[in-house]
Structure 1
Amino acid sequence: MRIIIIFCLLIITYSADAQVKLLTLHDLDKRLSNGKDTTYVINFWATWCAPCVDELPHFEKLRLANLKKPVQVLLVSLDFKSKLERAVIPFVQKNNIQAEVFLLNEPDQQQYIKRIDEKWSGAIPATLFVNQKVRRFYEQTFTEAELKSKLANLN
């Protein structure tokens, strides 16, 4: 019986760890360039940001509504790397987030801000909609309806 419990705990821990991966901007650029017909909705957020946390369910609903379409929702946490196991993974588990979650692994905040969008002040939440034809960046919170509308009006 103990072995089964330990095994189950290991599986739960592994799946949570696997659910939140470290991501560099190079990794993100590679992912975007490989997704030829895919539209990416990339939300930049943090566990300590109340407006970010409030809008996360909208991104999950957007993901679910587009499961059969070439749309990918990526949630990129801007929490410190040291918070991965103590804050980000437990947050993702507690809130049952099923979208792909990453923790940005970049040492220079100013550099990654400018690479995402020249006009970004660094404030969060922020969202990038990108595909092969369009790249639109928004430094704001979104309602569920606004997210759907922005996605529908990309082309």
Structure 2
Amino acid sequence: MRNIYILIFAVFFSLNTKGQNVEKISIGELEKLINQENENVLIFNFWATWCKPCLKEIPAFEKINENGMVSVHLVSIDFINQFEKRVVPYVENRNLDSKVLFLAEENPNSWMPRISNEWSGAIPATLFVYKGKKYFEEKEFTLEELNEYINKIRN
């Protein structure tokens, strides 16, 4: 009987501990990820916990990540002092499956041009990379728009 309780506890515990770590990265480390060779479309969605349109579109990125044809990286650009207070709890409470990164950089004016010269600083913003080509959009995406955009850059 004791073994049954241990098994039930272990199953319950494993179900409730799903969640992922948020990895802090530098702009240099992010550039390495952006420039990696990959057969899939790489997606880097830039968001913050204080940006309502950003949070609204995250489920679409999660859904598109499920198909395995793309690799989604959700890159938080929250202020550094918000990492433990806002970013980590947000990610843990939503059990996100996409890779979640925290860009631990102070000055957006120094790193935004390294992502795209087109970036005005608005979010949500998304960088798509496919076969070495980069496509940058400052807009909120729906699932349908994401699918259309990915199909367009693949063709």
Maintained 8 Å contact 1:134/1:154: no
CA distance in 2, matches of 1:55, 1:33: 24
1:60 aligns with 2:62: yes
SS at match of 1:122: coil
Query: Number of residues paired by the alignment?
Result: 144
* 2:34 match: 32
**1:78 positional shift:** 0.8
* 1:136 match: 135
What amino acid maps onto 1:144 in structure 2? L
Structure 2's unaligned 5+ residue stretches are 1-8
**1:93 positional shift:** 1.6
Maintained 8 Å contact 2:26/2:104: yes
SS at match of 1:35: coil
* 2:116 match: 117
Question: For residues 1-155 of structure 1, what are the structure 2 equivalents within 5 Å?
Answer: 12=17, 19-64=21-66, 66-67=67-68, 69=69, 71-155=70-154
**1:122 positional shift:** 0.4
**1:34 positional shift:** 2.8
CA distance in 2, matches of 1:37, 1:29: 17
What amino acid maps onto 1:154 in structure 2? I
* 2:5 match: none
What amino acid maps onto 2:28 in structure 1? H
Higher Cα Rg: structure 1 or 2? Answer: 2
CA distance in 2, matches of 1:29, 1:38: 17
What amino acid maps onto 1:151 in structure 2? I
Identity of aligned residues (%): 37
Structure 1's unaligned 5+ residue stretches are none
CA distance in 1, matches of 2:56, 2:149: 18
TM-score (norm 1): 0.83
SS at match of 2:153: coil
TM-score (norm 2): 0.83
**1:141 positional shift:** 0.4
What amino acid maps onto 1:34 in structure 2? Q
CA distance in 2, matches of 1:59, 1:79: 18
SS at match of 2:43: strand
Q: Which moved more, 1:109-118 or 1:55-64?
A: 109-118
Maintained 8 Å contact 1:32/1:131: no
SS at match of 1:40: strand
